[in-house]
Amino acid sequence: MIYRHRITLQSNSPTAIAGGCYTASWATVTTFWGNVMDAGAVESTLHSKAQQVTAVKILARYTTGIDKKTCRLVYGSDIIVIESVIDVTNRKNEIVIQGRYEKR
pLDDT, averaged across the chain = 89
User: What are the backbone angles phi and psi of residue 102, rounded to the nearest 5°?
Assistant: -85, 135
Q: What is the DSSP string of 54-76?
A: EEEEEEEE--S---TTTEEEEET
Interacting residues of 90 by C-beta distance below 8 A, sequence separation 6+:
none
Q: What is the pLDDT of residue 68?
A: 92
- Which has more pLDDT, 101 or 43? 101
Q: What is the mean pLDDT of residues 37-48?
A: 78
Quote the number of domains for the chain.
1
Q: What is the mean pLDDT of residues 29-47?
A: 86
Q: What angle do CA 35, 94, 31 make, to 5 degrees?
A: 55
Q: How far apart are CA 13 and CA 27, in angstroms?
A: 7
CATH of the domain at 19: 2.40.10.270
Q: What is the pLDDT of residue 10?
A: 96
Give the structural domain span for 47. Answer: 5-101
